[in-house]
Amino acid sequence: MKKLILLCLAWCFISCGGENKTKEIGERFFETYSKRKEIDKMVSFYAEDFHYENIGFESESDDPRFLYESFYGWADPNFRFNNPETVQVDEIISNDSTIVAKGKFMAHSYRSRAVEEMRFVILLELDQDLKIKKQTDWFDYPMSEIIEAYYLKQNMKVE
Protein backbone atom coordinates (compact mmCIF):
# COMPACT_ATOMS: atom_id res chain seq x y z
CA MET A 1 0.00 0.00 0.00
CA LYS A 2 2.87 2.40 0.81
CA LYS A 3 4.39 1.71 -2.60
CA LEU A 4 1.10 2.51 -4.30
CA ILE A 5 0.78 5.80 -2.41
CA LEU A 6 4.39 6.73 -3.18
CA LEU A 7 3.87 5.84 -6.84
CA CYS A 8 0.73 8.02 -6.98
CA LEU A 9 2.53 10.93 -5.31
CA ALA A 10 5.48 10.59 -7.68
CA TRP A 11 3.15 10.54 -10.68
CA CYS A 12 1.35 13.68 -9.44
CA PHE A 13 4.65 15.45 -8.83
CA ILE A 14 5.97 14.58 -12.30
CA SER A 15 2.75 15.43 -14.14
CA CYS A 16 2.37 18.78 -12.37
CA GLY A 17 6.06 19.66 -12.62
CA GLY A 18 5.84 20.90 -16.21
CA GLU A 19 2.99 23.25 -15.39
CA ASN A 20 4.82 24.63 -12.36
CA LYS A 21 7.96 25.18 -14.42
CA THR A 22 6.10 26.97 -17.22
CA LYS A 23 4.21 29.09 -14.69
CA GLU A 24 7.56 30.08 -13.12
CA ILE A 25 8.85 31.00 -16.59
CA GLY A 26 5.72 33.11 -17.12
CA GLU A 27 6.19 34.86 -13.78
CA ARG A 28 9.86 35.64 -14.55
CA PHE A 29 8.96 36.76 -18.08
CA PHE A 30 6.30 39.24 -16.91
CA GLU A 31 8.40 40.48 -13.99
CA THR A 32 11.14 41.40 -16.47
CA TYR A 33 8.61 42.64 -19.04
CA SER A 34 7.03 44.95 -16.47
CA LYS A 35 10.30 46.74 -15.74
CA ARG A 36 10.95 47.63 -19.45
CA LYS A 37 14.73 47.74 -19.00
CA GLU A 38 16.55 44.51 -19.86
CA ILE A 39 16.10 43.81 -23.58
CA ASP A 40 18.82 41.14 -23.63
CA LYS A 41 17.14 39.32 -20.74
CA MET A 42 13.79 39.46 -22.57
CA VAL A 43 15.34 38.13 -25.77
CA SER A 44 16.77 35.18 -23.78
CA PHE A 45 13.20 33.90 -23.23
CA TYR A 46 12.71 33.37 -26.99
CA ALA A 47 13.52 30.49 -29.31
CA GLU A 48 15.66 31.10 -32.37
CA ASP A 49 12.67 30.20 -34.56
CA PHE A 50 10.11 32.68 -33.24
CA HIS A 51 6.95 34.39 -34.48
CA TYR A 52 5.04 37.33 -32.98
CA GLU A 53 1.52 38.46 -33.78
CA ASN A 54 -0.38 41.45 -32.42
CA ILE A 55 -4.07 40.86 -33.12
CA GLY A 56 -5.28 44.44 -32.53
CA PHE A 57 -2.71 46.13 -34.75
CA GLU A 58 -2.44 43.24 -37.22
CA SER A 59 1.35 43.33 -36.79
CA GLU A 60 3.86 40.50 -37.04
CA SER A 61 7.57 39.98 -36.46
CA ASP A 62 10.08 37.16 -36.28
CA ASP A 63 12.67 39.15 -34.32
CA PRO A 64 12.22 39.47 -30.54
CA ARG A 65 14.85 42.23 -30.34
CA PHE A 66 12.88 44.32 -32.85
CA LEU A 67 9.77 43.62 -30.80
CA TYR A 68 11.23 45.29 -27.68
CA GLU A 69 13.40 47.96 -29.28
CA SER A 70 10.96 49.17 -31.92
CA PHE A 71 7.44 47.80 -31.50
CA TYR A 72 7.20 48.09 -27.70
CA GLY A 73 9.59 51.07 -27.74
CA TRP A 74 11.59 50.16 -24.65
CA ALA A 75 14.46 52.46 -25.70
CA ASP A 76 12.09 55.34 -26.51
CA PRO A 77 12.46 58.03 -23.78
CA ASN A 78 9.04 59.45 -24.73
CA PHE A 79 7.32 56.67 -22.74
CA ARG A 80 6.73 57.85 -19.17
CA PHE A 81 5.26 55.63 -16.47
CA ASN A 82 4.33 56.69 -12.94
CA ASN A 83 5.60 53.42 -11.43
CA PRO A 84 8.58 51.13 -12.06
CA GLU A 85 6.15 48.30 -12.94
CA THR A 86 4.42 48.90 -16.27
CA VAL A 87 2.09 45.89 -16.28
CA GLN A 88 -0.07 44.26 -13.67
CA VAL A 89 -0.54 40.55 -14.23
CA ASP A 90 -3.83 39.38 -12.72
CA GLU A 91 -3.63 35.73 -13.75
CA ILE A 92 -1.22 33.26 -15.32
CA ILE A 93 -2.52 29.94 -16.58
CA SER A 94 -0.08 27.38 -17.95
CA ASN A 95 0.44 23.82 -19.03
CA ASP A 96 3.59 22.07 -20.24
CA SER A 97 3.85 24.11 -23.48
CA THR A 98 1.65 27.20 -23.12
CA ILE A 99 1.45 30.25 -20.88
CA VAL A 100 -1.55 32.59 -20.92
CA ALA A 101 -1.41 35.83 -18.95
CA LYS A 102 -4.20 38.29 -18.34
CA GLY A 103 -3.68 41.72 -16.88
CA LYS A 104 -3.36 45.46 -17.43
CA PHE A 105 -0.80 47.63 -19.16
CA MET A 106 -0.59 50.59 -16.82
CA ALA A 107 -1.59 54.15 -17.72
CA HIS A 108 1.33 56.22 -18.96
CA SER A 109 2.17 59.14 -21.18
CA TYR A 110 3.79 59.11 -24.59
CA ARG A 111 5.15 62.37 -25.99
CA SER A 112 3.33 64.18 -23.17
CA ARG A 113 0.00 62.64 -24.23
CA ALA A 114 -1.88 60.56 -21.65
CA VAL A 115 -2.49 56.92 -22.58
CA GLU A 116 -5.11 55.12 -20.54
CA GLU A 117 -4.71 51.73 -18.88
CA MET A 118 -5.26 48.81 -21.29
CA ARG A 119 -6.32 45.25 -20.57
CA PHE A 120 -4.34 42.49 -22.25
CA VAL A 121 -4.15 38.77 -22.82
CA ILE A 122 -0.80 37.42 -23.97
CA LEU A 123 -0.40 33.85 -25.21
CA LEU A 124 3.11 32.35 -25.13
CA GLU A 125 3.65 29.04 -26.90
CA LEU A 126 6.83 27.21 -25.87
CA ASP A 127 9.10 24.80 -27.71
CA GLN A 128 10.60 21.62 -26.20
CA ASP A 129 13.38 23.72 -24.60
CA LEU A 130 10.75 25.93 -22.89
CA LYS A 131 11.64 28.91 -25.08
CA ILE A 132 8.92 31.08 -26.62
CA LYS A 133 8.31 30.04 -30.21
CA LYS A 134 5.14 32.09 -30.71
CA GLN A 135 3.70 35.08 -28.91
CA THR A 136 0.22 36.40 -29.57
CA ASP A 137 -0.85 39.69 -27.97
CA TRP A 138 -4.40 40.92 -27.53
CA PHE A 139 -4.46 44.45 -26.12
CA ASP A 140 -7.61 46.45 -25.50
CA TYR A 141 -6.20 49.52 -27.25
CA PRO A 142 -7.94 52.88 -26.86
CA MET A 143 -9.81 53.84 -30.04
CA SER A 144 -7.44 56.76 -30.69
CA GLU A 145 -4.49 54.31 -30.79
CA ILE A 146 -6.30 52.02 -33.23
CA ILE A 147 -7.13 54.92 -35.55
CA GLU A 148 -3.56 56.23 -35.41
CA ALA A 149 -2.18 52.76 -36.17
CA TYR A 150 -4.61 52.37 -39.08
CA TYR A 151 -3.42 55.61 -40.68
CA LEU A 152 0.22 54.74 -40.09
CA LYS A 153 -0.28 51.38 -41.82
CA GLN A 154 -2.07 53.05 -44.73
CA ASN A 155 0.83 55.49 -45.18
CA MET A 156 3.37 52.64 -45.12
CA LYS A 157 1.73 50.64 -47.90
CA VAL A 158 3.62 50.69 -51.18
CA GLU A 159 1.42 51.02 -54.24
3-state SS string over 50-80? EEEEECCCCEEECCHHHHHHHHCCCCCCCEE
Strands (E), the chain: 46-54, 59-61, 79-81, 87-94, 98-105, 108-110, 113-115, 118-126, 132-139
Overall pTM > 0.75: yes
For residue range 47-60, list pLDDT tens digits in order: 999 999 998 878 89
For the chain, give the mean pLDDT: 84
**Does the pLDDT of residue 62 top 50, yes or no?**
yes
Region 105-115: mean pLDDT is 89
What share of the chain has pLDDT > 90, as a percent?
A: 56
CATH number at residue 19: 3.10.450.50
Looking at residue 57, its pLDDT comes to: 77
User: What range defines the domain where residue 28 resides?
Assistant: 2-156
What is the per-residue pLDDT across 17-28, written as a single tens digit (0 to 9) for each? 456 899 999 999
Residue type, 139: F
Number of domains in the chain: 1
Give how far the C-alpha of residue 132 lies from the chain's centroid of Cα atoms, to the nearest Å: 10
